[in-house]
Amino acid sequence: MESAATLTRLVRRVFYRLVVPVVSIAAALSVSGVLIVVASGNPLEAYGAMLQGAAGSIGSLATTGVRTTPILLTGLAVAISFRAGVFNVGAEGQLYVGAAFATVVAVAPLGLPGFIHVLLALLAGFVGGALWVAIPAYLRAYRGVSEVVTTLMLNFVGIYLISYLIDPITGPIGERNASYAQSALVQETARLPVLISGTSLHAGLLLGIGLAVALQILLRYTGLGFRLRMLGGNPTAARFTGMNSSRQIVIAMLISGGIAGLAGAGEVIGLRMRLYDRFSPGYGYDGIAVALLANSSPLGVILSASFFGALRAGANAMQQATGIETSLVLIIQALTILFVIFGPLRGWVATRTTRRAGLTPGGSESAP
Amino acid sequence: MGRIGCRGNQEKAGVGSTDQQSSAPELLRMERITKRFGDLVANDEVTFEVLPGEIHALLGENGAGKSTLMKILYGLQQPDSGQINLDRRLVTIRSPHEAVSLGIGMVHQKFMLVPNLTALENVVLGVSSPRPPLLELRDPRRRLMKLAEEHELAIDPDVPVWQLSVGAQQRLEILKALYRGARLLILDEPTAVLAPVEVGQLFRVMRLLAAEGRGIVFISHKLSEVKAVSDRITVLRLGRVTGSLPTAAASPSILSSMMVGRDVSLERVSPPVQGDAPILELQDVSCLTDRRTPGLDSVSLTVHRGEIVGVAGVDGNGQRELVECIAGLRPITGGRIAIQGRPPKGALRTIGLLGLIPEDRHEQGLVGDFDVAENLVLRAYGRRPFSAFGFLRWNHIRSHAVEQIDAYDIRCPGPETKVHHLSGGNQQKVIVARETQEDPALLVAAQPTRGLDVGAVESVLNLIRGQRDRGAAVLLVSTELPELFAVSDRVVVMHAGQIMGAVPPDPTRLGEVGEMMMGHTIQVAGDGGTAA
């Protein structure tokens, strides 16, 4: 009996957590469907083609996984910062710098066993991302400068820094005499293993999933996670417990930046095997959307990143089958986020869960 | 006059107003107003009236229903039943806009001004320009300056509001209301934000306005001010009118029993053996406020084991800074603080040293989105048994919560209830439970009963008394004198960042405390409270 009640509670909780994202996605798909009709297409056909392209075969599933990996990691990066009440919108820049750090380690013929070389490259990626966010972190924690501005600005600095680094003529890690701006090839020992042979699905996806689980555990079961959630929940109350908020802000931002750096590292040593100029089509920004859709829950990020990854993977198939532009997926993505942040939907969930608790919202003393 | 007026409508005998129409029809009559919020009855058949030229004080503790009544009058809320008569005409006030057009003006506690606009621009904001679409400021400026001059409300019309002092902003709010033709002016706790000198000025302005025949509703919970300025006093308690009488006939004891509903019924328990070990020592402590103005000015104070020292004073006279300095949350610019001989920095992170009940429950004391169990270990989560090797032990945290919920009678469905769903009293119990669970040597409680209903006040004060009896040193900061006198062993009075003096909690000494709260120094015989 006891366990049955617990199970019901759990199901109910999961249900209320899923209401907002699922309804948002459904609404976004409906509105986009109208757009397709306006463009004289058939929405069902288009979505069918998209589904086929995203999950119709082992190959398309692998493509979905490949597309999911970077935004899963940047999504986690953004989510962990959101949970601590910090708005790191600089995952894009941290991803680039992380990628550059990982590249330096990965292209070096270190003569190490593969496993260790890969770990070192990933570690370098983490360090690079963390370093890139260290400046905004210091400014936010000890000088009160808004991290939204500083992290965002450093995105551009980071992107152009990488352009300089891999310049074929002047760049310190650029491949000499190459026709493109690119780094040298990643050593065989530094490459992430491919999960399904014949596809490009690499172990970065497992890294992301493992990290999501680890972050979920961190937030729920560790003292550090408790501090970060306290900081995100009410920074003033955190201060009144004697907590050193500045330090926690720095820690949260370093973790966040490091994970974004991992996303860059994963792309280099898992998929592209070189550092290219402008290799990210905005994974860092997509991470914000992914985190928002997941309401900053690490496990939720797995789902939301997969959804956006599947959209991307299915976009080409949709275009081939129906002639509808792939940019439709950007519209779907944007609409989804709009519905997520749409107040009444959240309000409905809030009142429902409040009523379940058998209480009136706000407590009685707030009324007069 | 009103047939139901069982309490009001006394002849205005002894009322210090200058108008001669003692039988004047009332300007405002709110009749049997009832307003509920869920289970809470904020206003219960409240009848309230204001005569022209009358300063009518609305007195009551926090949460007594004063603000609700005035929000109804100003159209911000609709009554569930009852009616409002203005000039003996039944009116329905659906919005502040309608209230203004009926000649009702309100100065809110939190000013409704646009900081970037000038004083003059704020005044004309929302009033249609005489020459639309152009903004015509010449006539408004003339009118504004005339109003300012007539009512001793000095204002510089061209200064952006953010540069104005709080007192000047308040004058501007009053001018704004007058500019819109207010005949009935509601002042919601106007003195809370003012320095004593400014309070005097405000009172003069209020009398001037009343002398012109306007009605003024003066909301306050400070007896001394109400006595000083009003013509008539209506007391609200728990949403009901407990009395309405001319100020001349009101003594502090009558009023406080009407307000509190008990003749300071928190009976004094004879103080336990006074340990003489000093726990908290402050020596010539000075600090700055958030706005970099002087906050504390050379404060010296000692609290001993087994003693409750009450800190009285009008809000904003350094109490907040005092508490934060002691808790190590605000740097001091001079002097020395010691808690059991140790500096306050890190005191909150030391086990069993300092319990802190902050003045703002929601902002400083709780994480609203955390559940009760989490809030109960907000400070102790990192220690055994709640944590081991950096990992939280939820079974211990949860069973601890179950124990505390029982021990402190926290009314909630269970440890997993989010704390923002709890009522104020129960939220406060969560904080008290958390801050006392490790038997701290020093307990600092800032406004611990603010906004609580009477029952919750009793139980919170009893918990604090229990800490004293256990041997803790307690510093109790409160603006509620009856409460301070009921539980303290010694009361010190703060004014303008200084401790003006100390008195034993003898009800006959209330007057002295009032004087000191106004900034007067008094030679106190015996009981050298500020001994270093």
Q: What is the DSSP letter of A202?
A: B
Choose among A220, A242, A368: nearest Cβ to B67.
Answer: A368
Residue B216: φ, ψ to 5°: -125, 130
Q: A240, B65: Cβ pair inside 8 Å?
A: no
Give me the DSSP letters along B362-377.
Answer: IIII--TTSBHHHHHT
Tell me how far apart the alpha carbons of residues B111 and B194 are, in angstroms, rounded to a whole number.
13
Amino acid letter, residue B281: E
Q: How far apart are CA A322 and CA A191, in angstroms?
A: 37
| Distance to chain A for B345, nearest Cα, Å | 9
Domains of chain A: 1-41+324-368 (no CATH), 69-322 (1.10.3470)
Eight-state DSSP code of residue A267: I
Comparing C-alpha atoms, which of A253, A259, A252 is closest to residue A128?
A: A259
Instruction: Give me the torsion for CA of B323, B326, B332, B335, rounded to 10°.
Output: 120
- C-beta atoms surrounding A229 within 10 Å: 20
Q: Touching check for B379 and chain A: CB below 8 Å?
A: yes
**Which secondary structure element, helix H or strand E, spans residue B90, and what is its range?**
strand B89-91
Min Cα separation B350/chain A (Å)? 9
- Chain B from 234 to 253: CB within 8 A of any A CB: 239
Residues B73 and B60: beta-carbon distance below 8 Å: no
**Single-letter residue type at B45:** E
User: Please, how many CA atoms are within 13 Å of residue B257, restricted to the half-sphere of its CB?
Assistant: 7
User: What is the nearest CA distance from A219 to chain B, expressed in angstroms?
Assistant: 10
Collect all residues with Cβ–Cβ distance below 8 Å to B360 and sequence separation of at least 6.
Answer: none
pLDDT at B391: 95
At A183 the three-state DSSP class reads strand
DSSP state of B247: G
CA A326, chain centre distance (Å): 21
Distance of alpha carbon A307 from alpha carbon A296, whole angstroms: 15
CB-nearest to A363 from B68, B379, B420 is B420
For residue A217 the two structure tokens come to: 């555990």
Are A357 and B418 within 8 A, CB to CB? Answer: yes
Contacts of B369 in chain A (CB under 8 A): 233-234
How far apart CA B381 and CA B384 sit, in angstroms, is 8
3-state secondary structure of A57: coil
Distance CA B166, CA B49 (A): 30
Tens-binned pLDDT, residue by residue, of chain A (368 aa): 557 777 888 888 888 888 889 999 999 999 999 999 998 889 999 999 999 999 999 999 999 999 999 999 999 999 999 999 999 999 999 999 999 999 999 999 988 888 999 999 999 999 999 999 999 999 999 999 999 999 999 999 999 999 999 998 888 998 888 888 899 999 999 999 999 999 999 999 999 999 999 999 999 999 999 999 999 999 999 999 999 999 999 999 999 999 999 999 999 999 999 999 999 999 999 999 999 999 999 999 999 999 999 999 999 999 999 988 899 999 999 999 999 988 677 777 777 765 555 444 433 333 33
Residue of chain B with shortest Cα separation from A368: B68
- Interface contact B368-A366, CB threshold 8 A: no
**Residues A264, A275: Cα–Cα separation, whole Å:** 9
Interface ipTM > 0.90: no
Residue from the list B391, B417, B452 with its beta carbon closest to the beta carbon of A222: B391
The answer to whether the Cβ–Cβ distance between A240 and B356 falls below 8 Å is: yes
Determine which of B62, B420, B421 to mutate to test the interface with A (most A C-beta atoms within 10 Å).
B421
Burial of residue A8, with CB atoms counted within 10 A of its CB: 0-12 exposed, 13-18 middle, 19 or more buried: exposed
pLDDT value of residue B21: 42
Check residue B260 and give its pLDDT.
Answer: 61
- How far apart are the C-alpha atoms of B381 and B488, rounded to whole Å? 32
Tell whether A5 is within 8 A of chain B (Cβ): no
CB contact under 8 A, A237 and B392: no
Report which DSSP code applies to A174: B
Tell whether B425 lies on the interface with A, counting CB pairs under 8 A.
Answer: yes
Cβ–Cβ below 8 Å for B358 and A230:
no
For chain B, say whether A354 makes contact (Cβ under 8 Å).
yes
Q: How close is the nearest chain B Cα to the Cα of A237, in Å?
A: 4
For chain A, say whether B367 makes contact (Cβ under 8 Å).
yes
Neighbours of A76 (CB within 10 A): 32
- DSSP assignment letter at A364: G
Strand order in the sheet with B473-477: B354-357, B442-446, B473-477, B307-312, B490-495, B498-503
CB B235 within 8 A of CB B244: yes
Identify whether the C-beta of residue B60 lies closer than 8 Å to the C-beta of residue B234: no
Question: Which residue of B323, B349, B378 is the best one to mutate when testing the A interface, meaning the one whose CB has the most A CBs within 10 A?
Answer: B378
Q: Rounded to an integer, what distance in angstroms lies between the CA atom of residue A204 and that of residue A215?
A: 16
Task: Name the nearest CA neighbour of B457 among B57, B36, B28, B62.
Answer: B62
Nearest to B19 by CA among B188, B161, B303, B216: B216
Element (H, E) at B145: helix B138-150
| Inter-chain CB proximity A241 and B379 less than 8 Å | yes
For B279, list phi and psi in degrees, rounded to 5: -100, -50
Interface A–B counts its CB contacts (< 8 A) at 111
Alpha helical stretches, state H, A39-113? 43-55, 58-83, 91-106
Residue of B34, B35, B36, B37 to mutate for A, most A C-beta atoms under 10 A: B37
The answer to whether residues B320 and B515 touch, using CB atoms and an 8 Å cutoff, is no
Q: Does B451 touch chain A (CB under 8 A)?
A: yes
The tens place of each residue's pLDDT in chain B, 532 residues long, gives: 333 333 333 333 333 333 444 455 789 999 999 988 766 778 999 999 999 999 999 987 666 788 889 999 999 889 999 999 999 899 999 999 999 999 999 998 778 899 889 999 999 888 877 777 788 888 889 999 999 998 888 888 898 988 888 888 999 999 999 999 999 999 988 887 777 778 888 999 999 999 999 999 998 877 778 888 999 999 888 888 988 999 988 877 777 677 765 544 445 555 555 557 899 999 999 999 887 788 999 999 999 998 999 999 877 789 999 999 999 999 999 999 999 999 998 888 888 899 999 998 888 999 999 999 999 999 999 988 999 999 999 999 999 999 999 998 888 888 988 898 887 788 999 999 999 998 999 999 999 987 776 677 888 899 999 999 888 999 999 988 888 888 999 999 998 899 998 988 887 787 788 778 777 766 544 444 443 3
Sign of the dihedral through C-alpha B450, B453, B454, B458 = negative
Distance between CA atoms of residues A11 and A14, nearest Å: 5
Question: Cβ(A83)–Cβ(A219) under 8 Å?
Answer: yes
**Cβ-Cβ contacts under 8 Å, A366 against chain B:** 424
